[in-house]
Amino acid sequence: MAILNIVTFPEPSLRLKAKQVTKFDTELQTLVDNMFETLRAAPGVGLAAPQIGESLRLVVVEYTEDEDENAKPKKYVLVNPEIIKRSEEMVTDVEGCLSLPGLAGRVERHQAVTVKAKNRFGKPLKIEAQDWLARIFQHEIDHLDGVLYIDRAEEVFELTPEEAEQITD
């Protein structure tokens, strides 16, 4: 596996709509593995293919809802994801992004979403997510459409180095 280069703003490719994944081959499997390796090294909780310079509708997420630091995080691979249901309830919280190092912003998002996608092998899946996981999915799927959290933020602010370690993509 390899750690890939994360593209940072204002790189124009971050503003493009990513292409649908059509082949579930060994090249895609390697890319997924490398994206997880890159995500852990960053570190972050989510990474979209456009953030590593690949125009593909592909997202990886590694996240645990458990406060126990020994809890095993759950891994998600979303290929060609689409939000098919959104809660009416909105929640504002702070987000950061691996492609916008040193910054964070207050962003309003749906409290819950249902995402339809394919897994890394092309099998259909549907995930109902709430709270922080729903926020992560919305943030990462935005990347696939060339949208950054700063486009939705009520305010954006610079982080101290200590704060930056606490807030990741």
Catalytic positions are 140
How far is it, in rounded angstroms, from Cα 78 to Cα 48?
A: 9
Terminal Cα distance for the chain, rounded: 21
What is the b/e burial string over 50-75, where b = at least 16 CB atoms within 10 angstroms of the residue's CB? bbbebebbbbbbbbeeeeeeeeeeee
